[in-house]
Structure 1
């Protein structure tokens, strides 16, 4: 990583102002800023809970016969959540984590080193992947396509670096309908929590004001870094236009998203460690139960475009 740029965890006012007019710079600054606390913010771990979650998303999107892919690339890896947990589950032997944010790449490499995984890290623009043709047999990403200005160009690059027959799997992409209700739920939860914790009996549940202000600034910048929402059918068409075969988009989380977004917002609004293990288990098991409901019942009666998360897979023609 010696040739990669250094992280910018504390952007200057001039950089922030420029970011409002440059989506890629905004993504770099926002994710460098978030890199140190991202795992905590999103309850990311590298244990059985998140390993099962990552493999579940992979299997929802694509078939897998249990044999490991030999060399995998992750686009927009963040702190490494998706690929590192897939590697721990045996989905891939070796991996490369990439992100536009140097801070996120550094965090992902630290996580990989702590897990003893064979992982390389690179700062990469998803529209211009700096690897030769046919370099990987698997490309994955989680919550990354909606940050990339030209999704079709990125998918063409993905297909270029895949070997013939190689597969891509992207998960965690917001649908247009799902994003609308998730944002509303998050906004209502944030306003209710930050208002109620001003009351004297509840002030112990309030984060320091400067932390709340920082979170509000980050939330405002999300309007710049979150570029797209997706209709699943249109997303499939984009992948086919890029040259992919066997394209399929699945969706998940309807009732689960209506619990998940208020829970995550509430967690971000109260002091770290305040909620404890019992809360974490309530949130996780609640999400599991509602996900079961979504998968076994609601998918039969609710249009797929209404679910929050879109997952996309396809292969490079042989």
Structure 2
């Protein structure tokens, strides 16, 4: 069988099934490939995330220093508490560039790691980041609904901003429980709530519309990104409508995890005022030349996020959890002594 442009195995309709083990990144999808992806969310995820892989860390201000180590460890502790000791072996599902797992490993949460993603480009970058950090990590291109690791392989499975990309979340949860050892834990963070996605997307679209029009003024022309880059961003944004498959109601996400067989399941939420600022900020950054935004802007954005996150940590004692933007969910695979 001939290979598709993304080196993925396909069924008789051309839909992505299991990724080929030697799948190569495809960072420059053609218009024809993008059109085909509209009918295949898994292919769309490959194309979209291969396109983003080499610039993803820069786009989202991801680093592997104290700032992001503290963030990742903080998300883990907020969702699951403080572990009694480091987990021996951890997997990041839908790893992207490895942001969550690599920073958790640096923060002492896990000792040895594995990464898997449907996007070959993301796995490649994640492994490169791990090597640069001197971390013990292996990786495989793989589908979250058919995780390419044996039963009872991991003490911990984590993911960040991944569940909303997976067509069948319950099937993925069953796979997570399969590869976890009895008593093992999962922690997923960074996925959008239904209410949060409603206001975040509208803020983002309004910011993009306003910025791209204001920068057409002659006096602000140097703030306008080249048209080719804007066209690429627009094409990626169009695919985003395909790869973003779900938003979540926290109570429904808990039920999904329990239906898959998880025990001790609990969902928490975070970021309300921080999201109201964060989405316009990130959209503005995507709409203007990067060289226009220096260290001062980065510090403004980061410190503002810290202050608003502090405010949100108090507001969540008073506001419904469904109102916040990010949902985090944790649970365990039943140990032999646990009730079904």
Same fold (TM > 0.5)? yes
- The answer to whether structure 1 residue 310 and structure 2 residue 319 are counterparts is no
- The answer to whether structure 1 residue 292 and structure 2 residue 307 are counterparts is no
Moved over 2 A (4+): 1-4
Distance of 2:149 and 2:96 partners within structure 1:
19
Query: 5 Å matches for 1:1-318?
Result: 3-65=21-83, 67-296=85-314, 298-318=315-335
Q: Deviations over 1:14-65 (max 9, x none)?
A: 2211101000000000000111111111111111111111111111110223
Distance of 1:232 and 1:116 partners within structure 2:
36
- Matching residue of 2:8: none
State the Cα distance separating 1:115 from its structure 2 match: 0.7
State the Cα distance separating 1:205 from its structure 2 match: 1.3
Distance of 1:286 and 1:187 partners within structure 2:
21
Greater RCO (Cα-Cα under 8 Å, separation 6 or more)? 1
Distance of 1:307 and 1:165 partners within structure 2:
30
- Per the alignment, in what secondary structure is the counterpart of residue 43 of structure 1? coil
**5+ long unaligned stretches in structure 1:** none
Q: Deviations over 1:223-277 (max 9, x none)?
A: 1000000000000000000000100000000000001101111111111232111
Distance of 1:209 and 1:76 partners within structure 2:
31
Q: How many residues align?
A: 317
After superposition, the CA RMSD in angstroms is 1.2
Indicate conservation of the 8 Å contact 1:6/1:102, yes or no.
yes
Quick check: 76-85 or 5-14, which moved more?
5-14
State the Cα distance separating 1:66 from its structure 2 match: 5.3
State TM-score, norm by structure 2: 0.91
Distance of 1:84 and 1:293 partners within structure 2:
28
Indicate conservation of the 8 Å contact 2:97/2:126, yes or no.
yes
State the Cα distance separating 1:184 from its structure 2 match: 0.4
Distance of 1:69 and 1:261 partners within structure 2:
33
**5+ long unaligned stretches in structure 2:** 1-18, 336-340
- Per the alignment, in what secondary structure is the counterpart of residue 36 of structure 1? helix
Indicate conservation of the 8 Å contact 1:236/1:247, yes or no.
yes
Distance of 2:236 and 2:32 partners within structure 1:
16
Indicate conservation of the 8 Å contact 1:66/1:91, yes or no.
no
